[in-house]
Chains A and B, each alone.
Chain A
Amino acid sequence: MLAFIVRRLLIAIPVLLLASVLTFFLVVNSGDPLEGLRQKPGISQQVIRAEEIRLGLDKPFVPRYLDWAGNFFTGDMGTDIRNKPVWPELWSAIKYTMRLVLIAELLAFSVGLMIGIVSGVRQYSGFDYSATFISFLFFSLPVFWFANLLKVFGAIEFNDWLENPSVSILFAVVLTAFIGGSFYLIGRKRERLRLAQPGARYKWGGIALGVTGLVMLSAVFFFEGRKYDRFVKTIGSEPRELAETFGERLWSYVGHGLLPVIVLFTVSYAGYSRFMRASMLEQLNADHVRTARAKGISETRVIVRHAFRNALIPIATVATLSWGALIAGAVITERVFAWNGMGDFFLDSLSNPSPDPNRLLAFVMVTATFTIIFNIVADIIYAILDPRIRM
């Protein structure tokens, strides 16, 4: 195992070096870093010349690359066009983005897997069709548009409601009728399919009607005359207000992170659920599952032990691929919600006022390094899960 990991790490070194060449090529072609300086009035040629030498712009591609790579791989990311060191700011951006991305990814992974499994097991059921439609919708949702929608409906309108919360009687009645009715219909369908005892529709519908009715009724009285703070935040990555206790701080973090996490969740959820469904279907039609069923093993055990475990193996690939999508998603999400994360760092470096080579290089290299690390982790997980892979 150790030999496998070491070998895998050694392969990563040339990939990282090549990635650094590609990165350098991209950044060299990202525009003139001194454009902002040149446009300032009263800047002498000497100052510009000095800046060119400081940033290495006077050198041709290869020596400039070697200079930068030598510094970079020994841990020096250099300074930006304002002569400030790059790393401290990037590090703080990485912390914000990782917090956002990891939580969203974890949620998408667990929810996507669960929905994918149920979709696969109950193929062509109403549940499967709805889950498929939602996945397709998430695949087709432009992140920037959805983030703006959430900002208005998930935050501004919701906060307005929190300030003066009330549940109208009409809404309570309609919702209760809707939920009760849906359960009645589900019960009727299951009766027809002989999956439920006759009369189940009245039992199901009745219970759903009663429970929802009670909850809505108590909500109508509960919110009467209460007031809350504007909880969901649309701007900023960090609580600015003073929070005394740990609980308050945590609550404030939740308020700031809620919407961005929902947005990034939609970015990677669809991939997991679709992939898990396909993978589950493949396993459920495989010979070993048929054998297991023929032996009389219970259906739950067949699904969990025989199908699910094997279906999990290809999911490692989705996890590594979704990192790139998440970074792209974070660039947009952080712009919409004004977070000081990596996406914001990137957009800022692109044109503020002119492209900042060392900041861009550092950002792209960090992104590429994370991708390579995730690929290695995925390979190792594959090797652990799948004994057919030679170590």
Chain B
Amino acid sequence: MTDTIDSVHEAEFAVEVRAQWRTILRRFVRHRLAMVSLVILTLIFVLSIFGKYIWTYTYLERDKGALSQAPSWEHPFGTDSLGKDMLALTLRGSQRSILIALMVSVIATSIGVTLGAISGYFRGAVDSVIMRLTDLLLTIPLLVIAGCLAWQLDGGGSWWFLSIILGVFSWQGTARIVRGEFLSLREKEFVEAARAVGVGDRRIIFRHILPNALGPIIVSATLAIGGAILVETALSYLGLGVKSPDSSLGLLVSEYQAAFQTRPWLFWFPGLFIVVICLCVNFIGDGLRDAFDPKQMRVRA
């Protein structure tokens, strides 16, 4: 792909790009662990959203005839002392946690890609300013930042506000990665060629450099989901994130931790869901990283 591109080769180039994506996809599909994780994660996500239409109980409903029941066919995850069905609660919690994590990842990736691209492409003073900003934001842990701003969530139900806080303060890693990619790609011959035929900065950034930097961006966006779930559940556990009546996996763990020794199922399931979701996300990220690995791609090019 380092060949110079002129108009004659434009069509050929397009074919090349598609072939490249197909190779990446094939390599990802062959990664067995990542595929299994993808299936499990999709299953959990779909169930958490559409579960309320399939499952008999909702997370608000109380089965007064079944208080504090151990897992059974009627209630696979058991019930709490009010008779709430634990499966419904866990699914509802997963839904919130996954949605927040997805939104955090989208926000953080957009900010990180924008700032990283500007920083790496234009270099100079802009670069210094943006990089000092990332250094600055790395000095204070995300949990502390979010903790300070958490009281604004007191109204409850504003899970999207929590996602915005977490997203706005967690783009530093992505920005650094994207900046590194841009710094090396902007020196490549195809960018030089594009500039020589008079292509503008914006088009070079979006059409020529960004598609080539997509691999690391996708990987870091995926891994950001895992990180976001852990931060969100930790905040909710500490009472600084999602608050009742809304639900989150972290909130469920903190609500039921006192019951661990008497009714362990209330504690096990929400926690296990966090572990499983995060493990799946991390394995998918790992599979994507292997699929995008430039060292393997060199064979093809």
Contact = CB atoms under 8 A, between A and B. Distances in A.
A127 interface: no
Most buried by A among B144, B233, B275: B144
Nearest to A368: B139
B240 A142 contact: no
B76 interface: no
A144 B256 CA distance: 12
Interface stretch (B1-9, B41-49, B102-110, B276-284): B276-284
Contact of A364 (B148, B274, B282, B283): B148
Contacts of A321: 138
Among B136, B226, B260, B283: residue with most chain A CB under 10 A: B136
Interface residue tally on A, bucketed by range: 35 or more
Interface residues of B, number: 42
Contacts of B142: 324, 328
Contacts of B136: 15, 18-19, 22
B151 A351 contact: yes
A28 B279 CA distance: 37
Contacts of A141: 275, 278
Interface in B95-117: none
Interface of B is mostly: helix
A346 B139 CA distance: 16
A145 B238 contact: no
Nearest to A371: B139
Given A143-B234, A152-B261, A328 B144 contact: yes
Contact of B143 (A30, A31, A152, A328): A328
B257 interface: yes
A148 B148 contact: no
A27 B281 CA distance: 33
B275 A328 contact: no
13 contacts: A15-B132, A15-B136, A15-B139, A18-B136, A19-B140, A136-B286, A137-B275, A144-B250, A145-B274, A321-B138, A346-B144, A367-B139, A371-B139
Interface of B: 132, 135-145, 147-152, 226, 230-231, 233-234, 237-238, 240, 250, 253-254, 257, 260-261, 267, 271, 274-275, 278-279, 281-283, 286
